[in-house]
Structure 1
Amino acid sequence: MLSFTPRIGAKSLAKFLSKDAPEKLVNYSAPQWQALGLKPDQINYLNSAAKKEVDACFVWMNQKDNRSIITSLDEHYPALLRQISSAPPVLFVEGDSSCLDKPQVAIVGSRGATVEGQRAAHQFGRELAEQGIVVTSGLALGIDGYAHDGALSGQGETIAVLGSGLNQIYPARHRQLAARIVESGALVSEFRPDMKPRAEHFPRRNRIVSGLSLGVLVVEAAVKSGSLITARYAVEQDRDVFVLPGTIYQANYQGSNELIRQGASLVQNSQQIVEELNLLLNWSLNQQTMQQSTLFSPPNSEEQLPFPELLANVGVEATPVDILASRTNIPVHEVMTQLLELELSGHVVAVSGGYIRKGRG
């Protein structure tokens, strides 16, 4: 009920849940809601339309065995998605919900894609799927559709995140594709099943596409495009961004080339993506049948950790190089050398403000 209330986002919902248990919140009176800061129109929704809409969601779920509603309070909520600051409180899923926790790479790009872009999206989708990676995208025309179809042609799984409810497949031209995805993956939405597509839904949808994924591949992107929004979300969520380069004379590649200029990884084949994400992919593939509570596998107690003195001073908060040098009495140039080796071996990762430790370290 609360997650459907107008102008209540993930942060507000988390605040409410910190005040009381969900089963108690749903029975709050109007004065209690007002005391939590809700406005009259929000309280009116909770006291009138909310129950009907929630009941309709459960009716939708019970119509088919492959439908599920996952809340952020559930243990099987996708582990990577849970980490983002604006994680959706509710996910509606049709298909195999378990694939949401499998290693994923998002493929995004222009709706009006060139023939070369369409071919690349299909090829990368197929090759990644053949290597056991779930291909995630937004079911849009152009690059999205070709990426989904490529994954299916590679006998793999693919996830489509919608900007509408799952009873309102958009675009309509992709209804058949959506039906195929349900058989070999999943359709996902944070919107109620009967919610129609709206322009403002699609930027919100993009944060889920990147949030579910280990990395985002931009195939074609103009200067102003939804793909760049997804790439920005990926950076904010500390995901890798990969870009296929394109001619400087084609508008569809101007945004892509700018991403490369800003530091995104230029890739020319799918193997380069796999190699870049190798540490994360190895962990994810090995953990598919296990409960996932952290992003990295536990350390091997028998493993001799490299540079233990430096590593002991790198924690979960970003620590600058000069601070590490001061703490360890190791010269800055040597600290940088050791950090590079630790990063290559998967024990630390460079972030804004310094370095943090990976759980496997």
Structure 2
Amino acid sequence: MQATDSSSASGPAADGLAAWLRLAYTPGVSRLAAARLLQAYGTPQAVLAASLAPQGASYSDDDTPRLTASQAAALRAPLSAGMRRLVETTLAWLAQPDHHVITFNDEAYPPLLRHIADPPLLLHACGNAALLARPGIGIVGSRNATLQGRGNAQRFARSLADAGLTVASGLALGIDAAAHAGALAGAASTVAVVGTGIDLLYPAANAALAQRIAREGCVVSEFALGTPARAAHFPIRNRTISGMVRGVLVVEAAEKSGSLITARCANEQGRDVFAIPGSIHATLSKGCHRLIREGALLVETADDILQALGADTSAASISQEGHSALSNGACEDAMHTALMQAATPLLAALGHDPVGADALAARLQCNAADTQASLLALELAGVVERLPGGVFQRLKR
């Protein structure tokens, strides 16, 4: 288990953990302020000692950041009952197998994440924390992804993981879930960065996937245990995803997609941004096209990304010792199963009689271009057949 500077294999000392939690989660002390204070004073204990010193005595004449009056007052206040409960809860959580608290001063802290403007002071991690220090690629996209988009995310993730890049995403529905699934079948596995406390995984529909990632990859959160899902937390989560990886791939995104926040964070952090193009008529291609116009690299294969990152594309032979990678046949079966599950509403609307794509889109009350993309994915999988006149019919498998 990883924890604070005074940690041991059985868990951290309560005093050390309390100092980290207090600096990270005290109201009135922002993430940016806490990071700057930690970088200046070295340890949270030193920051707290500075806040307890007489007014003016804790400040040097050099460039050491000054604690503001409100920050000093917040950190000087007696330890609240809520903070004491958080320390106790976190210690109990740490006592469970493969649970870790990784602080900014730990060697296991993601190396690239250290250098963003407002790095998390600590990370809760469940699973193989060693993945956090390995080269990574972020894959993000729409929650309401098309079948083709999910297939692309899964294939890119599998190829990139086999080339030695750990795939990071946000455990959301749609593209995120497909990327995690693809990476779990590859050699380098996956990291899921969540926007809640690590003990309150969201969404519930991905609970089984989260459990598998905790066993075969790693689930990470910078939020305190018990923190519920809030809209404001997900942009924070997004900047952590982009901060810990070498580049971010956007698979599908509408014009106002949250995935564009991750891409913007990546750009600000000096990371490469990649985007997969699509139909000019598809709603979920507009965000990717916007990114490409703004300088993102258009990619068609995983090799495009590997070459841009300067990665060795022969790294697909990376050792898979200790990793339960699926065989090619099993992976194809798993992908087909996922495709069929996602296509259930479309196939129900299609029935067994020939139907045109526009009529099918009307039945489903969805975008015609997205319906076309889904039908193409099913056609390539041998599930439906395109007949003369632009109509589709379901095939028996």
Per the normalisation by structure 2, the TM-score is: 0.66
Shift of residue 11, structure 1, vs aligned partner: 2.7
1:56 is matched with 89
CA distance in structure 2 between the partners assigned to 1:20 and 1:135 by the alignment = 31
2:283 is matched with 251
Q: Which amino acid aligns with 1:243?
A: A
Choose the corresponding residue for 1:16, options 16, 34, 37.
37
| Equivalenced residues, count | 284
Aligned with 1:38: secondary structure?
helix
1:345 is matched with none
CA distance in structure 2 between the partners assigned to 1:82 and 1:272 by the alignment = 27
Aligned with 1:174: secondary structure?
helix
Choose the corresponding residue for 1:132, options 161, 164, 167.
164
1:357 is matched with none
* Partners of 1:6 and 1:42 within 8 A in 2: no
Aligned with 2:70: secondary structure?
coil
Q: Which amino acid aligns with 1:127?
A: S
2:370 is matched with none
Choose the corresponding residue for 1:239, options 242, 267, 271.
271
The answer to whether the aligner puts 1:2 opposite 2:23 as a matched pair is yes
2:243 is matched with 211
The unaligned stretches of length 5 or more in structure 1 are 287-361
Aligned with 2:69: secondary structure?
coil
Shift of residue 24, structure 1, vs aligned partner: 4.7
CA 110–20 in structure 1, closer or farther in 2 if over 3 Å, else same = closer
* Partners of 1:5 and 1:46 within 8 A in 2: no
CA distance in structure 2 between the partners assigned to 1:180 and 1:271 by the alignment = 27
Higher-Rg member (1/2): 2
CA 54–282 in structure 1, closer or farther in 2 if over 3 Å, else same = farther
CA 281–76 in structure 1, closer or farther in 2 if over 3 Å, else same = farther
Q: Which amino acid aligns with 1:85?
A: A
* Partners of 1:84 and 1:237 within 8 A in 2: yes
2:212 is matched with 180
Aligned with 1:79: secondary structure?
coil
Q: Which amino acid aligns with 2:295?
A: G
CA distance in structure 2 between the partners assigned to 1:68 and 1:100 by the alignment = 12
Q: Which amino acid aligns with 1:244?
A: I
1:158 is matched with 190
Aligned with 2:148: secondary structure?
helix
The unaligned stretches of length 5 or more in structure 2 are 1-21, 59-65, 319-397
In the TM superposition, 1:100-115 aligns within 5 A as: 100-115=132-147
Shift of residue 251, structure 1, vs aligned partner: 1.1
CA RMSD, aligned part only? 2.6
Shift of residue 36, structure 1, vs aligned partner: 4.2
Shift of residue 16, structure 1, vs aligned partner: 3.4
Aligned with 1:217: secondary structure?
strand
> CA-to-partner distance for each residue in 1:237-260, whole Å, 9 max, x for gaps?
100000000111111111110110
1:75 is matched with 107
Q: Which amino acid aligns with 2:268?
A: E
Choose the corresponding residue for 1:197, options 192, 207, 229.
229
* Partners of 1:203 and 1:229 within 8 A in 2: yes
Shift of residue 29, structure 1, vs aligned partner: 4.7
CA distance in structure 2 between the partners assigned to 1:279 and 1:271 by the alignment = 9
The answer to whether the aligner puts 1:260 opposite 2:260 as a matched pair is no
CA 236–45 in structure 1, closer or farther in 2 if over 3 Å, else same = farther
CA 144–124 in structure 1, closer or farther in 2 if over 3 Å, else same = same
Q: Which amino acid aligns with 1:22?
A: P
* Partners of 1:221 and 1:255 within 8 A in 2: yes
Aligned with 2:123: secondary structure?
strand
> CA-to-partner distance for each residue in 1:95-150, whole Å, 9 max, x for gaps?
01110011111100000001110110111111111222111100000000000001
Deviates more, 1:18-27 or 1:50-59: 18-27
Shift of residue 31, structure 1, vs aligned partner: 7.2
Shift of residue 73, structure 1, vs aligned partner: 1.8
Q: Which amino acid aligns with 1:188?
A: V
Aligned with 2:223: secondary structure?
coil
Shift of residue 86, structure 1, vs aligned partner: 1.3
Shift of residue 44, structure 1, vs aligned partner: 5.0
CA 205–166 in structure 1, closer or farther in 2 if over 3 Å, else same = same
Per the normalisation by structure 1, the TM-score is: 0.72
* Partners of 1:30 and 1:43 within 8 A in 2: no
The answer to whether the aligner puts 1:122 opposite 2:154 as a matched pair is yes
